[in-house]
């Protein structure tokens, strides 16, 4: 798995926490953000880390993590989509599920709405319900009391690949379907619940 390159589009607290931990775990990273000069300084001490534009990152990486504001995600999706075809895309973005368009199209299911913006990719909803410092702390604990990270997809291969990445962060992936992703979106029973795998499985209703 570590032979895969990973692109993080959106390098704020969430994106940097995920990407920097993966870099420390041995993956090759490319980070993208609006201010590339500031980003270069930010990642200067990380091993195997590069900086580029969002489009160049989408073209370069085997796996993409989206960790940018939702409005930016919606605006960038058409431009990035040709470079994302067939790739694993982990969606860590957040938006308000009461958005009228999301309610009208997908009954308030943010994951399903977001997936429709990215046809042709191996879409997984991941990292969207946990705080950035919890990701870093779990990685630094080295597998002791791993943080449960809920993920959702209807693509079984994508789920397995996402599980492997999350396990490399010394966290415990808990997988469910996109239909059930509402349980860990904003306002859901598992949103911002930092707990064990056992408890997360109970919250999501999975074994």
Q: What is the pLDDT of residues 129-141, one digit of tens each?
A: 999 999 999 999 9
The domain of 67 spans 5-204
Provide the domain count of the chain: 1
Whether 168 shows a pLDDT value over 80: the answer reads: yes
Tens digit of each residue's pLDDT (9 = 90 or more) over 25-65: 999 999 999 899 999 999 999 999 999 999 999 999 999 99
Residue 40 to residue 52: CA distance in whole angstroms: 9
What is the pLDDT at residue 1?
74
Please compute, for residue 118, the number of CA atoms within 13 A of its CA located in the half-sphere on the CB side: 31
- Are the C-beta atoms of residues 184 and 190 closer than 8 Å to each other? yes
pLDDT of residue 107: 87
Residue 93 is part of a domain; what is its CATH number? 3.40.50.720
């Amino acid at each position: 798995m570590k032979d895969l390159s990973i692109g993080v589009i959106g390098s704020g607290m969430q994106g940097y926490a995920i990407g920097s931990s993966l870099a420390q775990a041995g993956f090759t990273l490319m980070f993208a953000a609006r201010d590339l000069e500031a980003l270069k300084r930010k990642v200067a001490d990380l091993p195997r880390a590069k900086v580029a534009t969002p489009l160049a990152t989408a073209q370069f990486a085997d796996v993409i993590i989206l960790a940018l504001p939702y409005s930016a995600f919606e605006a960038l999706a058409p431009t990035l989509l040709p470079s994302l075809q067939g790739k694993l895309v982990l969606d860590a973005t957040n938006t308000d599920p009461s958005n009228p368009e999301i309610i009208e199209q997908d009954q308030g299911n943010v994951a399903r709405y977001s997936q429709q913006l990215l046809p042709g990719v191996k879409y997984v909803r991941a990292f969207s319900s946990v705080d950035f410092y919890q990701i870093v702390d779990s990685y630094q604990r080295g597998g002791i009391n791993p943080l449960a990270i809920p993920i959702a997809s209807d693509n079984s291969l994508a789920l397995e690949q996402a599980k492997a990445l999350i396990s490399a962060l010394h966290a415990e992936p808990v997988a469910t379907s996109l239909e059930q992703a509402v349980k860990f979106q904003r306002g859901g029973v598992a949103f911002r619940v930092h707990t064990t795998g056992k408890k997360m499985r109970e919250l999501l209703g999975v074994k």
